Structure 1
Amino acid sequence: MMKRILASVLAMLLALSSFAGLQAEAATKKNVKSSVNSLVVRQKATTSSKKLGLLYKNQTLPYKAKTGNWYKVSYKGKTAYLSARYSKVVKSSSSKKQSSSGWKTLTNVSATAYTPYDPGSGNLTAIGWNIKSSKKKVVAVDPRVIPLRSTVKVYYKGKLKGTYTAADTGGAIKGKKLDILYYSRSEAFSWGRRNVTVKFK
């Protein structure tokens, strides 16, 4: 009888230990961070492979594995590769840390508009959100100015226009520019191009 009790207790302790290990692994994930101003995201682990996009300095992508001199990462929901020479693996906690500096402000920002239906828009944003299946409030930014995944407040003529997530990028979005996502072509056309004030963190 005593042996059965001890065996049951031991089995329970082993189960709890395994569960705690899984929780710890889930809480701390690995990312790959760019060490240079702009790092090419490749389709395959070779410099001759198709270019999928750019990862700017200190930005990260989810780590999958290391293959030779390349890191396998997740990019827009697909497998991609980053040169290990110009990037490094870092740990990231599942809980977000809020910046102690608070909101940062940019004035005289040129704000344009786009829709998911524009030629070349695609289904996925730079951080992998499907903007055609869910109507998220998104702005496209230059990640060197406003980091991706930042919360962005846009003010026009002193009034708050809306609060968005910096979830996308664009070839023409360089410097103090942003592109506001609309789900109506008429609203996007009506907005046109305006100078706004932006707060982000």
Structure 2
Amino acid sequence: MMMKRIIASVLAVLLALSSFAGLQAEAATKKNVKSSVDSLIVRQKATTASKKLGLLYKNQTLPYKAKTGNWYKVSYKGKTAYLSARYSKVVTSSGSKKQSTGGWKTITNVSATAYTPYDPGSGNLTAIGWNIKSSKKKVVAVDPRVIPLRSTVKVYYKGKLKGTYTAADTGGAIKGKKMDILYYSRAEAFNWGRRNVTVKYK
């Protein structure tokens, strides 16, 4: 009888460990949808007649939710959106994968404009889902074809480091060597205006 209890206890422990390992593996691996074309329209609904919410550039990804016919259901700025499965694909990424330790890349003569979350047309959420009104974030909006989203960005003005930010947002007018720097003070934003800066990112 004692032996049976020991065996039962061992089996219970092994089963619990197996379940825990499975949950860890599931948490460490997540699915995303990657754009296969230069610019893929993010739609509000699974139809080409639906409202356009934004653009996903080549090799950019959005969190995968499900597949609906010829569309992928994804998460976009905290809301449900859709991408055409014809021009995108599901990829998996490991949460335990180490980030690249490569060096900084430099871009000179970048036109940097100040903005605030209180400006007309400014939303609550950035392109990567950060709520910039509920808590203060050090954010720059970039062209993701030049500086990838989620990059760490150092901005230098006249040779001095102005600040370190995260490339967390995009904008319709931000193309090429342009960026917007988020300020929470209208006075500071007005004082900065627009200046040419040097940017380092990785």
- Give the TM interval when normalised to the shorter protein: over 0.9
Q: Does 1:64 align with 2:58?
A: no
Runs of 4+ that moved beyond 4 A: none
Offset, 1:199:
0.4
Q: Show the counterpart of 1:8.
A: 9
SS in 1 for 2:102: coil
SS in 1 for 2:175: coil
Q: Show the counterpart of 1:85.
A: 86
- Segment drifting more, 43-52 vs 108-117: 43-52
Task: Give the root-mean-square deviation of aligned CA atoms.
Answer: 1.1
- Segment drifting more, 175-184 vs 95-104: 95-104
Partner Cα distance (2:98, 2:54) in 1: 27
Offset, 1:170:
1.1
List runs of 5+ in structure 1 lacking aligned partners: none
Offset, 1:96:
5.4
TM-score (norm 2): 0.96
Partner Cα distance (2:75, 2:119) in 1: 25
How many corresponding residue pairs? 201
Offset, 1:98:
3.2
SS in 1 for 2:112: strand
Partner Cα distance (2:97, 2:161) in 1: 25
What whole-Å deviation, never above 9, does each CA across 1:14-39 have from its counterpart, x for those lacking one?
11101100100100111111010111
Partner Cα distance (2:58, 2:12) in 1: 47
- Identity across matched positions, percent: 93
SS in 1 for 2:184: coil
SS in 2 for 1:25: helix
Partner Cα distance (1:74, 1:89) in 2: 13
Partner Cα distance (2:194, 2:106) in 1: 19
Partner Cα distance (1:87, 1:155) in 2: 36
Q: Show the counterpart of 1:170.
A: 171
Change (3 A) 1:153 1:91: same
What whole-Å deviation, never above 9, does each CA across 1:103-162 have from its counterpart, x for those lacking one?
111000000000000000011111110001111100000111111111000000000000
